[in-house]
């Protein structure tokens, strides 16, 4: 009887061990599928299994007027120079981790690590400080209780998503078709402070190529600055 009892216990342990292995494999498979789903959402795969370096437009948010709420964007500035050569030197110090660029502004040259939402701007500023790169943030604050500013904020959000996606070395281009359609379908604004500005912004988005490439990034960031600077804090 002892022998029989011993065998029963070993069998039970074997089943438990086998079950544990199976559950581990299943769990790993589920986790793998979830991760793959997330990855492929942003990096589509071609039919032959290779990675597609042209990605889709990120999903756009719904535009709502929200009284008492603001949205802040950050222009991370790494110097203001009277000579372009000095600006180029500062630009090289920023490095290639960001969509850094030089902006000609009133006979001066601003060096920027990019334009970001407030949270990302704070993060980039801290990273640069740790690298020993002197920087300051120029803040643009938009009132989401105002229809004009709410639309400008939403368009800027979507456009920065596209531009920042191009900072990925594996991404060659981002499709803009959906973003252009979304922008075109926003309610028309015919009055209010700076209503011409938001309409100009919409026209600019509508004229974008169907695929935005890395070589377009600097020009587009410079353009976004001309829109946001109207709301400099």
What pLDDT sits at residue 18?
54
Strand bridging mode 70-81 / 108-117: antiparallel
Q: Where are the alpha helices (DSSP H) in 66-117?
A: 84-94
Which uninterrupted H or E stretch holds 78? strand 70-81
What pLDDT sits at residue 180?
96
Rg of the chain over Cα atoms, rounded to whole angstroms, equals 25
What pLDDT sits at residue 76?
98
What pLDDT sits at residue 2?
33
Collect all residues with Cβ–Cβ distance below 8 Å to 138 and sequence separation of at least 6.
74, 75, 77, 232
What is 70-231's CATH topology?
Answer: Alpha-Beta Plaits (3.30.70)
pLDDT tens sequence across 89-127? 999 999 989 999 999 988 999 999 999 999 999 999 999
What pLDDT sits at residue 98?
93
What pLDDT sits at residue 13?
52
Is 183 within 8 Å of 64 (Cβ atoms)? Answer: no
> Which of 148, 137, 156 lies closest to 232 in space, CA to CA?
137
DSSP 52: P
Report the alpha-carbon distance of residue 150 to residue 157 in Å, rounded. Answer: 11
DSSP 121: H
Residues of the chain with pLDDT under 70: 1-66
pLDDT tens sequence across 218-227? 999 999 999 9
Collect all residues with Cβ–Cβ distance below 8 Å to 54 and sequence separation of at least 6.
44, 171, 172, 173, 174, 175, 211
What pLDDT sits at residue 44?
38
Sequence ranges of the domains in the chain:
2-42, 70-231
Question: pTM higher than 0.85 for the full model?
Answer: no
């Amino acid at each position: 009887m002892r022998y029989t009892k011993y065998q029963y216990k070993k069998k039970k342990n074997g089943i438990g061990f086998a079950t544990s292995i199976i559950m581990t494999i299943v769990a790993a498979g589920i986790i793998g599928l979830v991760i793959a789903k997330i990855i492929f959402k942003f990096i589509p795969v071609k039919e032959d299994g290779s990675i597609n370096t042209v990605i889709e437009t990120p999903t756009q948010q719904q535009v709502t007027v929200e009284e008492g709420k603001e949205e802040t964007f950050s222009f991370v500035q790494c110097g203001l120079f009277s000579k372009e050569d000095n600006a180029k030197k500062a630009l090289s110090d920023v490095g290639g981790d960001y969509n850094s660029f030089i902006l000609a502004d009133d006979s001066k040259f601003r060096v920027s690590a990019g334009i970001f939402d407030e949270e990302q701007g704070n993060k980039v500023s801290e990273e640069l400080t740790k690298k020993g790169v002197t920087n300051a943030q120029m803040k643009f604050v938009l009132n989401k209780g105002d229809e004009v500013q709410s639309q400008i904020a939403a368009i800027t959000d979507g456009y920065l998503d596209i531009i920042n996606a191009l900072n990925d070395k594996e991404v060659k281009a981002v499709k803009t078709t959906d973003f252009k359609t979304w922008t075109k379908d926003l309610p028309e604004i015919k009055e209010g402070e700076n209503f011409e500005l938001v309409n100009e912004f919409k026209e600019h988005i509508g004229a974008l190529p169907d695929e935005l490439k890395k070589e377009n990034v600097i020009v587009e960031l410079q353009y976004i600055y001309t829109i946001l600077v109207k709301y400099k804090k």
